[in-house]
Amino acid sequence: MSFNAVTSSFKVARRRKSPLAETLQIGALAGLAAIGFALIGAYVAMDKRHVVEDTLTLSQIAYALMAIAAGFVAGRDTQGRPSGSRIVLHGALTGLVAGLCVSALMLLMASVSLRSTLVAASPMLTKALSLGAPIGSLQALAQVPILGALLGMIGGVFAAMPSRYRRALTCGFAIVLIAGLFRDVFVSVLDNVPDFNGPEAEVFGSGGLNRVPALVLLVAGGIFALLRDRWNAGHNPARRARSSKAGLVLLLVGVLILPLVTNDFVAQVAMLVALYMLMGMGLNIELGLAGLVDLGFVAFFAVGAYTVALMCSSGPLALVDVSFWVALPVAVVLAAGAGMLFGLPVLRVRGDYLAMATLGLGEIIRVLVLSDALAPYLGGSQGIIEIDHPRIFGVSLQSPAALYYLALALAGVVAFISWRLQHARIGRAWLAMREDEDVAQALGIDPVASKLLAYTIGAAFAGAAGAVFAALVGSVYPHSFQLLVSINVLAILVIGGLGSLPGVLVGAIVLIGLPELLREFGEFRYLFYGIALVAMMHMRAEGLWPATTRTKENARA
């Protein structure tokens, strides 16, 4: 709330400046963003990924988007004032300024060695930014601002054109980007189609889309968006709601057949996504439904994982060696018990203190597991290995696809339970508590009991996720249970939409699946999270797939 107030007052202050100063400022901001992007090493890393074979790399697209976005913002801010040509001019100017910033960086790198302080300011960066021109030549220095101006102009045009065409272009571009980025996934799918000899060789190159297919996809995406717009305009909201339901069904079908049509790597990523979905749904009960901020969620995940490890390992630390299906309920019960034990004293405190206390819990569990005192039982930093794979009807689940289905089946069960809880009496009570704790109490809701229930159920789900994790990976180590896991889960909820089950799925795909599939993102993952979170707060604070009550409210308001 206050954050919005700050940014909107900022916008008001900005508007009062002259249009030219504003345009220059936007350009400089985009330029700074571009310089930062290069100096953290992202440019070089993402330059290796070809979206369109031998034509466009991911970092070139990132830079182009910065220029276009700057041009768009500049163009939009001058709108309502003079003509289209002025909008385009302002767009070009921002792009030019942004490009000049990048050229300045190149000049600086050529004359001073930045390398000792900024590792990423390497010859490779200079080479990449020169776009094939002789390094240090005038051409290399001049072409970036010129390109910037062109792209900025496109951004300006973008701002001036009717939104119908804007949506069409965005859609076409997004399709090309997705197809190019996830080339490996699509190729693996096409590989699995029998009697369909090597169409992938024509559509995809060794790293991305080929040029002609890229163009075809761009146009096809645009036309599709235009047609969809026309179709939507002619139909009432109820019809559209049904098409959003159809979207959900499509997503589910995709999720179900995914490992069958792709390769082991994708199945493994999907498995991780399913695992995070399990955890996400647990935290969703606590945070999304009951409003409890829990930063120690990973603790219960660890309890579940170590329970299975101790019960199903054939290694020396095992207490017993039973089937996974025996250990799973034990893990769930123990995690729930841990949740209740910890929740009892902690849930009496409100808000921020709860976040702090749970943060502590997460760390305590990790330190305990690492400690020398417990090392004889839990293996210390060596962890527990040789955990048996789960078996079904005597078949050992070993392939990534089989394990993925295991995780997915559990996620389905948990989703069903979550959905029932949400619409049951207790779900109402949680919602009421979150909206107005005093009134809820005065209506007969026991605040401690209802929070404790949410916390215990959330812990139980996390325990189930931990149990699956141990079985999937076959070993557990303390370093798997860091604070970052809790934060990842939290980010999934925020990105997907608090309190929304499909939101958990979408959030897990976006935050866990995409970075895994795009290896280049690996080290920039948290940067990506940060940007995504800030962008979400600004543009879609309710999440990618918001809970229904919120949308209903928005529709009526």
Partner 1 sequence: MSKALEVSNLTVAYGEIAAVRAVSFTVEAGEIATIIGANGAGKTTILNALCGLRDVRAGSIVLGGEDITALPPHERVRHGLSQVPEGRRLFGRMSVAENLEIGAYARSDHAARKHDLDHVLELFPRLRERYRQLAGTLSGGEQQMVAMGRALMAAPKVLLLDEPTMGLAPQIVDLVSDAVRRVNDEGVTVLLVEQNAYSALEIADRAFVLESGEITLTGNGPDLITHPRVRSAYLGYDA
List CB contacts of 260: < 8 A, sequence separation 6 or more. Answer: 192, 401
Question: With contact defined as beta carbons under 8 Å apart, do 423 and 287 qualify?
Answer: no
- Between 260 and 443, name the residue whose CB sits nearer to partner 1: 443
Q: Extract long-range pairs of 178-183: CB within 8 Å, 24+ residues apart.
A: 179/209, 179/213, 179/214, 179/217, 180/50, 180/51, 180/52, 180/56, 180/208, 180/209, 180/214, 181/49, 181/51, 181/58, 181/208, 181/517, 181/518, 182/517, 183/207, 183/208, 183/209
Q: Token pair of 21, please?
A: 């100063």
- Please name which of 525, 497, 524 lies closest in space to residue 511, comparing C-alpha atoms: 525
Is residue 52 within a helix (H) or strand (E), and if so which, with residue range?
strand 50-52
Least distance between partner 1 and beta carbon 281 (Å): 21
Task: Say whether 315 sits in a helix, a strand or coil.
Answer: coil
- Closest separation in Å from C-beta 544 to partner 1: 19
Letters for 419-438 (x = contact with partner 1 by CB under 8 A, - = none) are: ------x--xx-xx--xx-x
Write the CB contacts of 99 (distance below 8 Å, at least 6 apart in sequence). 31, 67, 144, 145, 146, 147, 148, 149
Closest approach, Cβ 419 to partner 1, in A, equals 17
* Residue 518 CA neighbour count, 13 Å, CB half: 29
For residues 139 and 548, which CB has a smaller minimum distance to partner 1 in the complex? 548
Smallest gap from residue 348 Cβ to partner 1 (A): 12
Residue 556 binds partner 1 (CB under 8 A): yes
Q: Which pair of structure tokens corresponds to residue 306?
A: 């170590």
Residue whose CB is less far from partner 1, 144 or 433 = 433
**At which residue do the structure tokens 């300024």 appear?**
97
* Residue 16 interacting with partner 1 (CB under 8 A): no
Q: Which is nearer to partner 1, 100 or 498 (CB)?
A: 498
What's the min distance (Å) between Cβ of 429 and partner 1? Answer: 6
Give the residue, chosen from 369, 445, 510, 512, that forms a contact with partner 1 under the rule CB under 8 A.
445
We find the least distance from the C-beta atom of residue 548 to partner 1, in angstroms, to be 10
Element (H, E) at 97: helix 84-111
Residue 356 CB partners (closer than 8 Å, separation 6+): 295
Q: Based on the shown chain and the rule CB under 8 A, indicate whether residue 551 belongs to the binding site for partner 1.
A: no
Task: Give the nearest distance from C-beta 345 to partner 1 in angstroms.
Answer: 17
Instruction: Give whichever of 13 and 442 is closer to partner 1, judged by the CB atom.
Output: 442
Nearer to partner 1, 87 or 440 (CB): 440
Q: Pattern 446-465, binding to partner 1, x per CB under 8 A?
A: xx------------------
In the list 197, 236, 444, 539, the residue contacting partner 1 (rule: CB under 8 A) is 444
Looking at beta carbons only, is 54 or 435 nearer to partner 1?
435
Of residues 111 and 236, the one with the C-beta less far from partner 1: 236
CB nearer to partner 1: pick between 14 and 540: 540
Q: What residues between 378 and 417 interact with partner 1 by CB under 8 A?
A: none
Q: Give yes or no for residue 557 binding partner 1 (CB under 8 A).
A: yes
- Closer of 428 and 525 to partner 1 (Cβ): 428
Nearer to partner 1, 447 or 474 (CB): 447
> Is 202 among the residues that bind partner 1 (CB under 8 A)?
no
CA–CA gap between residue 136 and residue 154 (Å, rounded): 28
Shortest approach of partner 1 to residue 427 CB, angstroms?
10
Which of 315, 111, 241, 169 has the alpha carbon at shortest distance from 548?
241
Q: Which of 439, 531, 534, 537 binds partner 1 (CB under 8 A)?
A: 439
Q: Is the Cβ of residue 94 or residue 500 nearer to partner 1 in the bound state? A: 500
Nearer to partner 1, 269 or 429 (CB): 429
Residue 395's DSSP bridge partners are: 392
Hey, what are 79's tokens?
Answer: 């709108």
Residues in the chain: 557
Minimum distance, C-beta of residue 447 to partner 1, in the bound complex (Å): 7
**Minimum CB distance to partner 1, residue 74 (Å):** 38
Are the C-beta atoms of residues 485 and 294 closer than 8 Å to each other? Answer: no
Backbone angles phi and psi of 156, in degrees to 5: -65, -45
Report the amino acid identity of residue 56: L
Q: Site size for partner 1, by CB under 8 A?
A: 23
CB of 336 to partner 1, least distance (A): 23
**d(Cα 337, Cα 460) in Å, to the nearest integer?**
8
- Residue 348 interacts with partner 1 (CB under 8 A): yes or no: no
- Binding partner 1 by CB under 8 A: which of 392, 409, 443, 537? 443
Please state the closest distance from residue 356 (CB atom) to partner 1, in A.
Answer: 25
Residue 431 CB, nearest approach to partner 1 (Å): 6
Sign of the C-alpha dihedral computed for residues 46, 52, 53 and 56 taken in this order: negative
Helix (H) or strand (E) holding 466: helix 447-473
- Asked whether 470 and 476 are in contact (CB, 8 A), the reply is yes
Under rule CB under 8 A, residue 441 binds partner 1 = yes
The phi and psi torsions of 500 (rounded to 5 degrees) equal -110, 125
Point out which residues bind partner 1 (CB under 8 A).
Answer: 425, 428-429, 431-432, 435-436, 438-447, 549-550, 552-553, 556-557
